């Protein structure tokens, strides 16, 4: 049996979810990294235990795609051995426009396969023709300089770097070109750190860049989005692309079906963080809007309460979304259920998605519309299918390249009762 370490030639067929491509070897599926559909590559097997598929890393490109470019980050180039190839820029060898096309294909395929929604251009679906949109400034910068936060891991000798792809090995580096100039300038590349596992570097829009060395006590920072400022912990969640908070604010506002908005309904912002998308909703719904933001992180909830203080009807509650919704369903009176049926719900779950428990509870509560912000196309498609079981239909879909030179994308979907 072929074992890890064996090198084989592969003809790469298509892109798969997760940033790898699909090839076949003697009839067996092989997921291969650092390759582009249409290429022929020599690849080193890394996993052969599964009967249904193997995994491999490209070590040489034999026939290159027209879309292949020199990697934007030499530390991650296919010229390096996979064991010391920096992770975090797995599409950096692909022309930027083609990266977006590959991401679009993954999204379209996931929606067709899991949600039975044909959103390919030319279909009659209301969300057909979806593209992956660039954020302002990214094309001019070739997709570089967008990360306002990076996490560097500490090697045994104290050097800083990312992990190698699919590994716990730290790859020391002296630059991170996806980071903003301010983050790069603040990163102590040449220094050694002992006794800590990570060093985080961030450059908020308000104030100076800062380091978080290991398990450091949190401090408060401010981020500006348009004319509004948000407070949050320096180690708390915030969209990492410099333009992402503004882009998602606008996308959520476009996704809301205006005639379905009832400012006095029991509107919800689930997985609400520090209130960015609750504020996006309330800006559309008006000064008298009622909206409850729900977030598991207590400190984030405290910040959300402060960030949403301009709306008297806004509140922030701490709780796991699935448990919080279940308690709401069990305690709601008839009048409360009516307000929930008139509600708009914005949800921005983690990469794993909302899942059956949350989608089923929302389905039973039956709000007028769901605006779902997703950072994983497969999780989104699965949850769209779960919503369909409760009578919701996908009516709008936008996608954004919030993570250039990686396989990740962001999507914003509108679901309304059919």
Per-residue pLDDT tens digits for 239-282: 999 999 999 999 999 999 999 999 999 999 999 999 999 999 99
Residue range 120-131: average pLDDT? 96
Residues of the chain with CATH 3.40.50.150: 101-138+226-230+238-417
Confidence of residue 24 (pLDDT cuts 50, 70, 90): very high
State the catalytic residue, choosing from 36, 43, 316, 375.
Answer: 375
Label the pairing between strands 313-318 and 290-295: parallel
Q: Is the pLDDT of residue 39 over 90?
A: yes
Mean pLDDT confidence for 156-173: 93
pLDDT at 358: 98
DSSP state of 146: -
- CATH class of segment(s) 7-68: mainly beta
Considering all CA atoms of the chain, what is the largest pairwise distance in Å, rounded to the nearest integer?
68
pLDDT recorded at residue 51: 83
Say whether pLDDT at 50 is over 90. no
- In this structure, what is the dihedral angle of CA atoms 335, 336, 337, 340, given to the nearest 10 degrees? 130
Active site residue 398: no
DSSP character for 332? -
Question: What φ, ψ does residue 145 adopt, rounded to 5°?
Answer: 70, 30
Asked if 189 and 205 count as a contact pair (C-beta separation under 8 A), the reply is: no
Query: Has this prediction a pTM greater than 0.85?
Result: yes
Q: What is the mean pLDDT of residues 166-176?
A: 93
Give pLDDT, residue 408: 98
CA distance 253 to 154: 41
Residue pair 230/223 in contact by the 8 Å Cβ criterion: yes
Residue 294 near residue 369 (C-beta atoms within 8 A): no
C-alpha to C-alpha distances, 75 to 31, 175, 225, nearest whole angstrom: 22, 9, 33
With a pLDDT cut of 70, the percent of the chain lying above it is 100
How far is it, in rounded angstroms, from Cα 133 to Cα 143? 12
Q: What's the distance, CA 293 to chain centroid?
A: 20
Q: How far, in Å, CA of 414 to CA of 254, rounded?
A: 10
CATH 2.40.50.140 region(s) of the chain? Answer: 7-68
Query: What CATH class is the domain 101-138+226-230+238-417?
Result: alpha beta
What are the residues whose beta carbons fall under 8 Å from the beta carbon of 146, sequence distance 6 or more?
A: 135, 137, 138, 178, 180, 240, 241, 242, 243, 404
Structure-token pair, residue 14: 């298509």
pLDDT digit string (tens) for 191-247? Answer: 999 999 999 999 999 999 999 999 999 999 999 999 999 999 999 999 999 999 999
pLDDT tens-digit profile of 370-415? 999 999 999 999 999 999 999 999 999 999 999 999 999 999 999 9
pLDDT tens column, 348-380:
999 999 999 999 999 999 999 999 999 999 999
| Burial group, residue 299, by CB count within 10 angstroms (0-12, 13-18, 19+) | middle
Given pLDDT bands bounded at 50, 70 and 90, which one contains residue 1? low
């Amino acid at each position: 049996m072929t074992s890890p370490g064996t090198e084989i030639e592969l003809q790469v067929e298509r892109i798969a979810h997760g940033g790898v491509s699909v090839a076949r070897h003697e009839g067996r599926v092989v997921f291969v990294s650092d390759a582009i559909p249409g290429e022929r590559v020599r690849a080193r097997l890394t996993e052969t235990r599964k009967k249904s598929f193997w995994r491999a890393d490209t070590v040489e490109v034999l026939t290159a795609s027209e879309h292949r470019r020199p990697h934007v980050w030499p530390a991650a180039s296919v010229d390096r051995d996979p064991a010391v190839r920096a992770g975090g820029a797995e599409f950096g060898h692909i022309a930027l426009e083609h990266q977006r096309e590959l991401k679009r294909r993954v999204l379209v395929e996931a929606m067709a396969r899991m949600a039975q929604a044909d959103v390919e251009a030319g279909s009659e679906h209301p969300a057909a023709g979806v593209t992956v949109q660039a954020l302002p400034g990214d094309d001019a910068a070739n997709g570089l300089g967008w990360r306002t936060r990076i996490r560097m891991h500490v090697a045994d000798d104290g050097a800083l770097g990312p992990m190698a792809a699919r590994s716990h090995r730290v790859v020391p580096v002296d630059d991170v070109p996806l980071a903003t100039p301010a983050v790069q300038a603040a990163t102590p590349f040449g220094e050694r750190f002992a006794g800590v596992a990570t060093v985080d570097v961030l450059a908020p829009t308000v104030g100076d860049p800062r380091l978080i060395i290991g398990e450091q006590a949190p401090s408060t920072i401010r981020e500006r989005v348009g004319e509004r400022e948000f407070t949050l912990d320096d180690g708390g969640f915030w969209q990492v692309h410099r333009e992402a908070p503004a882009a998602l604010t606008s996308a959520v506002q476009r996704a809301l079906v205006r005639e379905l908005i009832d400012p006095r309904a029991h509107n919800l912002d689930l997985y609400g963080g520090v209130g960015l998308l609750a504020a996006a909703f309330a800006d559309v719904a008006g000064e008298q809007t009622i909206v409850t933001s729900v977030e598991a992180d207590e400190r984030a909830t405290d910040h959300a309460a402060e960030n949403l203080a301009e709306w008297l009807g806004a509140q922030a509650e701490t709780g796991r979304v699935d448990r919080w919704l279940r308690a709401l369903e069990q305690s709601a009176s008839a009048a409360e259920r009516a307000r929930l049926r008139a509600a708009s719900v914005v949800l921005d779950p983690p990469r794993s998605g909302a899942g059956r428990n949350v989608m089923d509870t929302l389905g039973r509560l039956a709000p007028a519309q769901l605006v779902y912000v997703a950072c994983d196309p497969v999780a989104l498609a699965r949850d769209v299918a779960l919503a369909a079981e409760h009578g919701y239909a996908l009516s709008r879909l936008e996608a954004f390249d919030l993570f250039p030179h990686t396989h990740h994308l962001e999507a914003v979907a509108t679901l309304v009762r059919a």
